[in-house]
Amino acid sequence: MSLADGPNERRLVQIAPSLLSADFARLGEAVALAGRAGADMIHFDVMDGHFVPNITIGVPVLRSLARVSKLPIDVHLMIEQPERFVEAFVEAGAASVTVHAEATVHLHRVVHLIKSLGAKAGVALNPATPVTALEQIAGDVDYVLVMTVNPGFGGQTFIPRSESKVRAVRELLRREGSAAPIEVDGGIDVHTAPGIVAAGAGILVAGNAVFGSADPERAIRDLRAAAGAAVAR
C-alpha cells in the first residue's frame, strides 16, 4: 500500500502531513517534526495560480527539503500541463508525483513519464470530476488521490459525500484488478478520518489538522490512532 519502499509499507493506513499548512519560514523543521512523529511521507503541494487560485512552492524548495528529509516526498502538482515539470520535480527528489486528470490532455503519457523516471505515479480527481475519468488509466496508476475539498487552499471543510466517491474509486480499481491505494486530501482530521478510512482510503493527507495544532507531533499520532481504530472496526 505504500508509495515508497521501507518498513512503513506494511501499515494499513499511512499519514502524509501537508506542508501547505506549515510555516513556510520553517519548512525544514516541519519535515523533521513529521519524521519524529512517525509520519510515512511528506505531502508537497505545488500550485501555479492558474489550475488553482493560489501559488505555493516549487522545484528549488523541494530540492532543499529532499536533502534533509528522512521521509519520501509526495509531490502534488496542482498545475496546468504538468508534463512540463515532471522531470524537474523527480530530479529534485520527488518519490511520487500526482497529476490531475483535469490538468492535461495526455494523462496516459504523463503517468508513464513519471514511472519511467523512477517515481510513483498518481492521478488526482477534483470533487466535481466523476470517477469515470479514471477508467482508461486505473490499471496504470500507483495510487489515486481523491480531493475531499476543492483544491487551492488549506484549512477547508471536508466534503461529506467524498466517502461515497472513495468507495466508487475502490470498486473501479477492483474491477481493473488493481490494489493501488487511495489517497485523500482536504479537511482530514481525527473526526473525518474514521469514515473516509472505512470507505477505503489508505493514505491520509493532513495539513491544518497537523500544523495548525498546538502540538503537531501529537496531532499526527492522534490521526494515526483514529485511522487505526476505523480499520480495527
Which residue ranges make up each domain of the chain?
11-232
Active site residue 45: yes
Active site residue 189: no
Residue predicted with more confidence, 9 or 154: 154
Contact 97, 75 (CB under 8 A): yes
pTM, 2 dp: 0.93
Q: What's the CA gap between 171 and 154, in Å, rounded?
A: 29
Q: How far are the Cα atoms of 26, 44, 58, 145, 158 from residue 193, in angstroms, in the given order?
A: 27, 20, 29, 15, 10
Side chain identity at residue 124, one-letter code: A
Tell me the CA end-to-end span of the chain in Å, nearest whole number.
19
The answer to whether residue 7 scores a pLDDT higher than 80 is: no
Q: What is the mean pLDDT of residues 125-154?
A: 96
Q: For residue range 57-70, list pLDDT tens digits in order.
A: 999 999 999 999 99
Among candidate residues 40, 45, 142, 189, the one labeled active-site is 45
Q: What nine digits make up the cell of 118?
A: 523512477
User: pLDDT grade, residue 230 (50/70/90)?
Assistant: confident
> In the chain, which ranges are continuous DSSP H helix?
27-36, 59-68, 86-92, 107-116, 162-175, 193-199, 208-211, 216-232
Q: What is the mean pLDDT of residues 200-229?
A: 96
DSSP string, 3-18: SS-SGGGG-SSEEEEB
The answer to whether residue 119 scores a pLDDT higher than 70 is: yes
Top-level class of domain 11-232: alpha beta
Among candidate residues 40, 74, 142, 185, the one labeled active-site is 185
Q: What's the CA gap between 199 and 70, in Å, rounded?
A: 30
Q: What nine digits make up the cell of 134?
A: 479514471
Q: What is the mean pLDDT of residues 187-211?
A: 97
